[in-house]
Structure 1
Amino acid sequence: MQGTNKLKWAELQDQVNRQKIDIYALTETHLRDDEQPLLPGLVWQGKNRSKGQKRGGGIGFITPKRITVNGDCQDKEHMWIKIKIDTRDLYICVIYMATGLEEQKWNDSIYACLKKDIEETYKGQPILLMGDFNCHIVELDGHEKDAAGFRKLIKQCNLQIANLHPACEGTYTWSRRANKSAIDYILYNQEVVRQDINITALYIDEDKTNSCGSDHNRMKLCLRRHQPHRVNRPETTKAHWRVKEQERLDEFSNKLESTLTEPLTYEEFAEKCLSVAQETIGKTSEKKRTRNTPWFDGELKTEIRIRKELSRRHRHTPNESTEKEVIWKEYLAQKRKVKEMAAKKIDQKFQKEEENLHKDRNHYSQKFWAYIRTLEPKDTLQEDPLILLTENSIPLHTKEEIEQHITKHFKNMQTNPVDPSPQISSRKKDKTSTPEEEKLTGPISKLELKRRINDLKNQKATGLDDIPNEFLKAFKTEAKEMLRGCLNDILASRKIPRTWKESRVKLIHKGKGKETSDIGAYRPITILSNILKLFNTILNRRLQNHCEKTLILSESQNGFRPNRRTSDHIFTLTQAIEMKNRDKSQLYLAYLDLQQAYDSVPHSRLWEKLEKINIEEDFIKLLKALYAECTAVYELGKYKSRQVQQNIGLKQGCPLSPTLFNIYINSLLEQVNREGPGLRLSTVTTERQEIYTKISCLAFADDIVLLAESPADLQHLLDICSRVAHEDCLTFNTDKTQWMGINIDDKDITFTIQGNTIKKTATYRF
């Protein structure tokens, strides 16, 4: 805490409420005697120093009123509280150790008191000790200082240091200017482990986003009680909103419109939408079952029922009865009728599908292939139990083992890479003011929101807020205005809702040729809040327009840009190959594939690149806020990881990600075009002047093709790519990166990228 600035207490109150923090432990509150902090709606329990004592000091806990806490103040500068995790008691102690040789006896007495508390008062109970120990240990700081009492307490009471736990993100708990170290710790005993209280995460706020201006970095500990003997119940299918029934949607939009009589925050507005939807639309509660095909309607079901009844009557009629023959003839006639009716309805169904495909010519190809996919047999890969392999190729069979493996794999991927050559921002201050309506962070207009809502597609997965696109498209005037106001508030304040920070990531198998037992064979697709995706679509359209207007992106890049297609590059490639075949001259092509392209982008490097191309500072701050403290749970079929902090990478499934990646990779394309050789094309103008054009590379997002007329030229291009990719913390996948030669006789040619040899190929799918 460090200080009596009243604004810090307001910031702490905001963090507790907004981030759903259950307990906030504080040291160095600087409170004196019976002084109480102003924390409306929260509970404060603390121990203050008396006036006249040494400045500083003071400890305590902040908790919401919903949390039941029993406090126990001690004589020294430490205090205990008791909380419950499910049905288990957990004892938490906050501690402040003073600095200086004259305070050593004081600290020793606190350590002695702590030892007595642990061994006598709280013997056999799960405990956490947290606070400012003002000591350095070799594991974190590389040296030991003032740590004798700290080490002795750990050894005598068999404690563990949570800062060294695999779930810990961050190292340094104190920083001032260029100096940084670890002096704050969280300790726990073996009873925490024995009673299945799991440390799921420990975030050290090294960026000081939530540290209230202190030179100490906030430590956020997440605990969860694991139930190892939980009774296995059959998994039920997720209930879905009845959004296909237009009458229910109309009732929802009308009732929501009538209830919006006063301004609401985003969270209140989202809650209002859900409560109205629950009353008017409701959810399906039935278990998932095989859906009947559209042609199998009520009329056909009635005729089938008649056929079955005739069959039943025929079976139960005595053989000697004359009626049996009559019933049999009726049955055969009814059977033919059912067959003809089914054939007719199937034919009508296909005709209707064809008409629907032809109606929307702009999306004909997309709708055609979507329809073809519906005819394919369902892929049951995600439904079946999987066996994932560990690093030692040992099969994992239990649910717990597999989920731990998923968590570990994606947690390792979130380790920030070391930036080999930090960029120095070359932002030039633009003295000309940008009109408000042209700013990337300008208010969202009515027309802008209307157009983006109209572009939304139905039947899309929902994020944690559980609001589908169908709700947004059903909004009437007041609801749209309320939503626009909420989004503009977020745009201006950069306070991101909690439901936007947490996401599910579905792991989708990449397809044939990939081992299902290898977790690396699954592509992560982030399922975000639909309102967040709407918000990011607006930002992306603005960023795209800005990039096109200011000519930021290389002409070699055709991926995810307006009015550009993959077929443009395919045409260029085929024309180049035909030209070289006609001239019987050589052409060398290298097809590059970046390994985990989106997942490898370091956030800090991306912000630097945005600054370098003079993207508005407020827009960069907004992006930082959108990416700060995000977490994800990875889902593979029925298996789920624990929450994983998202430190690097772009979110696959976010509308902003393709444009941000184009900006990130743009320096590689620019340097290849500027420094490298390439394919030289000549054209003759009407004035009979010969003009030469050089094509060094073609790109569609992260799929890049290099073009050269000699082996030396191609290797030069590959060397440029190796250098720039290394600087940008990107790695090429040598299994997919290949080269191709046109009119090549020399079979001994080899090419390398990032020190790895590239395979030769005769065909490539671009």
Structure 2
Amino acid sequence: MEKKRELRNTRIYKDVYINNAIPSAQRLLNSNLRSIVNAIGNDKLEIRGSVVFVNKRKLFDKAVQKAKRQYWYSMQEELSNSCGNPKEFWRKIGKIGVGSERQNYIPMEVKLDNGQISSDKDEVLNKWKCDFSNMFNRNDDSDVNICENDVDVIYDDMLDCEISVEEVFNVLKSSKNGKSPGYDEIPVELYKNQTMLNALTRVFNICFDSGKVPAMWSKGIITPIPKSSTSDPRDPLSYRGITLAPVSYKLYCGVLNSRLSYKLDDIDFLCDEQNGFRKGRSTVDHLSTLSTIIETRKLRKQSTYVAFIDFKKSLRLDK
């Protein structure tokens, strides 16, 4: 009897090697079921239970896959319905986990000019301050020659007239609610009333006539955004500084921008090839055109060569 039990514990049944170290449940899942059932007599009850388990597990896996498909389908429907509301759209993106994957941790250490790595708080803050300040590349004592006498001042009714209440109202109307405020912590919703509309119009005209703006407008909260996942996170210049400016300042800029855009379109000043920073256009239009050109030339078996130029710090203010 002992020899028979030993034989059963060491005998190879076709696709499985059975011994005391391999439990019967594992034997069932990793071997030929018919071979095990025919070879083991007393284990049939346990085998039958394992078969039930496997069947239940298959049903469970199918239910999980079905639930996943239903979940992703419902999320796609919700995202499609939220396209008109960017705030709600990105909130849902963050909810499903895509947004959290894009979050990047900014280390509390910097790479100094001598190549050393410092985690000292004062050095880190000073490095960030100096690098972002030097990006403007302009000293306060720099000699800027402005030849006002050599320029004929031409009055333009469209550009130089007094800022109207209607202009400020249109900019306020196009401003979206729920946006982050600036240094003064005043949201745009606070300006959307008749009292503030009249006050803003008076302030904007004072700024426009004098050529000066409140000192508060020159302050902003800089939010660093990584430019590339491959850049050194310890280098402040590897981040793009997004400045949260005061809402009143952005509204004033919006009025001036509306005037300039309307004037440039009216005199047809900008070339038709420029799509960036133009209302109703996008750089995606150029990509679509380029794709069409490439596909057309491929059909004709012609090669296409494209040069993509990334101008680093193209808006630096040099002398």
TM over 0.5: yes
- Which structure has the bigger radius of gyration? 2
Q: Distance in 2 between matches of 1:583 and 1:423?
A: 55
Q: Distance in 2 between matches of 1:443 and 1:499?
A: 23
Question: For the Cα contact (< 8 Å) 2:93–2:99, is it kept in 1?
Answer: no
Deviation of the 1:522 alpha carbon: 0.7
Q: Which runs of 5+ in 2 are unaligned?
A: 1-70
Aligned ranges 1:401-440 → 2 under 5 Å: 401-416=123-138, 429=152, 434-435=156-157, 438=158, 440=159
Deviation of the 1:499 alpha carbon: 0.4
Structure 1 residue 387 corresponds to structure 2 residue 109: yes
More relative contact order, 1 or 2 (CA 8 Å, 6+ apart):
2
Structure 1 residue 488 corresponds to structure 2 residue 205: yes
Structure 1 residue 581 corresponds to structure 2 residue 295: no
Structure 1 residue 372 corresponds to structure 2 residue 93: yes
1:564 counterpart (281, 294, 307) = 281
Matched with 1:445 is 164
Query: Match of 1:592, SS?
Result: coil
Question: Structure 2 counterpart of 1:467, which letter?
Answer: I
Across the two proteins, how many residue pairs are aligned to each other?
241
Aligned CA distance change for structure 1 residues 588 and 413 (closer, same or farther; 3 Å): same
Query: Match of 1:525, SS?
Result: strand
Question: Structure 2 counterpart of 1:488, which letter?
Answer: N
Question: Structure 1 counterpart of 2:109, which letter?
Answer: I
Aligned CA distance change for structure 1 residues 592 and 354 (closer, same or farther; 3 Å): closer
Q: Distance in 2 between matches of 1:414 and 1:355?
A: 41
Aligned ranges 1:276-675 → 2 under 5 Å: 353=78, 356-357=81-82, 360=84, 368=89, 371-375=92-96, 376=98, 378=100, 381-382=104-105, 385-416=107-138, 429=152, 434-435=156-157, 438=158, 440-473=159-192, 475=193, 477-598=194-315, 600-602=316-318
Deviation of the 1:512 alpha carbon: 1.9
- 1:154-200 Cα distance to aligned partner (Å, 9 max, x none): xxxxxxxxxxxxxxxxxxxxxxxxxxxxxxxxxxxxxxxxxxxxxxx
Q: Distance in 1 between matches of 2:172 and 2:217?
A: 18
Question: For the Cα contact (< 8 Å) 1:386–1:516, is it kept in 2?
Answer: no
Q: Distance in 1 between matches of 2:76 and 2:247?
A: 34
Question: For the Cα contact (< 8 Å) 2:227–2:240, is it kept in 1?
Answer: yes
Query: Match of 1:526, SS?
Result: strand
Q: Distance in 2 between matches of 1:550 and 1:469?
A: 33
Question: For the Cα contact (< 8 Å) 2:107–2:234, is it kept in 1?
Answer: no
Question: For the Cα contact (< 8 Å) 2:226–2:240, is it kept in 1?
Answer: yes
Question: Structure 2 counterpart of 1:591, which letter?
Answer: F
Aligned ranges 1:645-724 → 2 under 5 Å: none
Question: For the Cα contact (< 8 Å) 1:558–1:566, is it kept in 2?
Answer: yes
Question: For the Cα contact (< 8 Å) 1:468–1:530, is it kept in 2?
Answer: yes
Question: Structure 2 counterpart of 1:396, which letter?
Answer: S
Query: Match of 2:163, SS?
Result: coil
Deviation of the 1:368 alpha carbon: 4.4
- 1:92-121 Cα distance to aligned partner (Å, 9 max, x none): xxxxxxxxxxxxxxxxxxxxxxxxxxxxxx
Aligned CA distance change for structure 1 residues 411 and 377 (closer, same or farther; 3 Å): closer
Q: Distance in 2 between matches of 1:486 and 1:386?
A: 41
Aligned CA distance change for structure 1 residues 415 and 478 (closer, same or farther; 3 Å): closer
Q: Distance in 2 between matches of 1:412 and 1:434?
A: 36
Aligned CA distance change for structure 1 residues 491 and 546 (closer, same or farther; 3 Å): same
> Structure 1 residue runs of 4+, over 6 Å off?
349-352, 422-425
Matched with 1:636 is none
Question: For the Cα contact (< 8 Å) 2:224–2:241, is it kept in 1?
Answer: yes
Query: Match of 1:576, SS?
Result: helix
Question: For the Cα contact (< 8 Å) 2:171–2:251, is it kept in 1?
Answer: yes
Aligned CA distance change for structure 1 residues 391 and 467 (closer, same or farther; 3 Å): same
Query: Higher strand share goes to which structure?
Result: 1
Question: Structure 2 counterpart of 1:415, which letter?
Answer: N
Deviation of the 1:464 alpha carbon: 2.6
Aligned ranges 1:109-124 → 2 under 5 Å: none
Q: Distance in 2 between matches of 1:409 and 1:428?
A: 36
The normalised TM-score by structure 1 is: 0.29
- 1:99-157 Cα distance to aligned partner (Å, 9 max, x none): xxxxxxxxxxxxxxxxxxxxxxxxxxxxxxxxxxxxxxxxxxxxxxxxxxxxxxxxxxx
Deviation of the 1:526 alpha carbon: 1.4
Aligned CA distance change for structure 1 residues 586 and 352 (closer, same or farther; 3 Å): closer
CA RMSD of aligned residues (A): 3.5
Aligned CA distance change for structure 1 residues 540 and 371 (closer, same or farther; 3 Å): farther
Q: Distance in 1 between matches of 2:79 and 2:280?
A: 27
Q: Distance in 2 between matches of 1:356 and 1:576?
A: 33
Query: Higher helix share goes to which structure?
Result: 2
Deviation of the 1:468 alpha carbon: 1.0
Percent identical residues: 26
